[in-house]
């Protein structure tokens, strides 16, 4: 029973009731992933498991057994260079207090993969058109599970648009 987090293998907790969020923050000291509502409503706790975004507050750590988890701490390159989306958030003022930012960035990275796969969203008009374009409307809908109480959503969307246009996500 083990979980790989940001490329490092960790044993799973012996208590099966522990959430992935609590494992990250309380047991492993990976406090980049934030605790917001703790009930699936804000997106602050979003991490990536096997390429898919998940809410770590609603995920038991044991559900990640044998899987690969990425958190905000694992996104920068080993030489310290920020992930392109992290850099774009800075350049587009996609944050103010920064509390929602780790969840926003993890969510956006996995969201771009959803677009590449051609997964439809609630606002996708025609499912027969194949992979949809990354319109601002699409991005807003797909990021609607990540709330920002500082109101940095315009900068967040602009940052995502920039890296999607450059193919860097
Ligand atoms: S803390 Fe998980 S969705 Fe709010
Ligand atoms: S930057 Fe403050 S909550 Fe989003």
Q: What local confidence, expressed as pLDDT, does residue 101 receive? A: 98
Given pLDDT bands bounded at 50, 70 and 90, which one contains residue 153? very high
Distance 84 CA to ligand 2 centre (A): 19
Q: Which residues contact 30 (CB under 8 A, 6 or more apart)?
A: 5, 6, 24, 71, 73
Give ligand 2 pocket residues (Cβ under 6 A). Answer: 95-101, 148-150, 152
CB 47 within 8 A of CB 106: yes
Pocket lining: 44 vs ligand 1, CB cutoff 6 Å: yes
User: Measuring CA to CA, which residue among 152, 158, 149 is closest to residue 44?
Assistant: 149
Q: pLDDT, tens digit, for every residue of 127-145? A: 666 455 678 999 999 999 9
State the Cα–Cα distance between residues 155 and 148, nearest whole angstrom.
11
Domain 2-74: CATH class, spelled out: alpha beta
Location of each CATH 1.10.150.120 domain in the chain: 84-166
Q: Which two tokens stand for residue 27?
A: 């047991």
E strand map for the chain: 2-5, 8-11, 46-49, 52-55, 68-70
Q: Which residue in this structure is represented by tokens 């992930």?
A: 83
Location of each CATH 3.10.20.30 domain in the chain: 2-74
Q: Which two tokens stand for residue 151?
A: 């109101």
User: Measuring CA to CA, which residue among 163, 42, 37 is closest to residue 101?
Assistant: 42
Fold of 84-166: DNA polymerase; domain 1 (1.10.150)
Q: pLDDT, tens digit, for every residue of 4-57? A: 999 999 999 999 999 999 999 999 999 999 999 999 999 999 999 999 999 999
Which residues, in sequence order, are bridge partners of residue 5? 8, 69
Pocket lining: 163 vs ligand 1, CB cutoff 6 Å: no
User: Measuring CA to CA, which residue among 52, 42, 3, 50 is closest to residue 24?
Assistant: 3
Please tell me whether residue 52 adopts helix, strand or coil conformation.
strand
The mean predicted confidence, pLDDT, of the chain is 93
Atom of ligand 1 nearest to the CA of 41: 3
Lowest mean pLDDT among 99-108, 112-121, 146-155: 112-121
pLDDT at 164 over 90: no
Q: What is the mean pLDDT of residues 55-72?
A: 98
Atom of ligand 1 nearest to the CA of 38: 1
Distance 44 CA to ligand 2 centre (A): 9
CA distance readout (Å), 108 to 1, 22, 66, 86, 163:
29, 22, 24, 11, 10
Task: Look up the pTM and report it.
Answer: 0.94
Cα 147 to its chain centre, rounded Å, is: 12
């Amino acid at each position: 029973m083990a979980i790989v987090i940001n490329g490092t293998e960790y044993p799973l907790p012996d208590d099966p009731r522990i959430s992935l969020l609590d494992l990250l923050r309380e047991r492993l000291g990976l406090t980049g992933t934030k605790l917001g509502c703790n009930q699936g409503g804000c997106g602050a706790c979003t991490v990536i498991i096997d390429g898919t975004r998940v809410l770590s507050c609603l995920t038991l750590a044991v559900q990640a057994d044998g899987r690969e988890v990425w958190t905000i701490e694992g996104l920068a390159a080993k030489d310290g260079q920020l992930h392109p989306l992290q850099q774009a958030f800075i350049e587009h003022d996609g944050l103010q207090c920064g509390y929602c930012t780790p969840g926003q960035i993890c969510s956006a990275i996995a969201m771009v993969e959803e677009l590449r796969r051609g997964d439809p969203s609630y606002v996708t008009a025609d499912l027969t058109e194949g992979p949809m374009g990354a319109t601002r409307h699409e991005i807003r809908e797909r990021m609607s599970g990540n709330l920002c109480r500082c109101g940095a959503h315009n900068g967040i969307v602009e940052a995502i648009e920039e890296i999607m246009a450059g193919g860097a996500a």
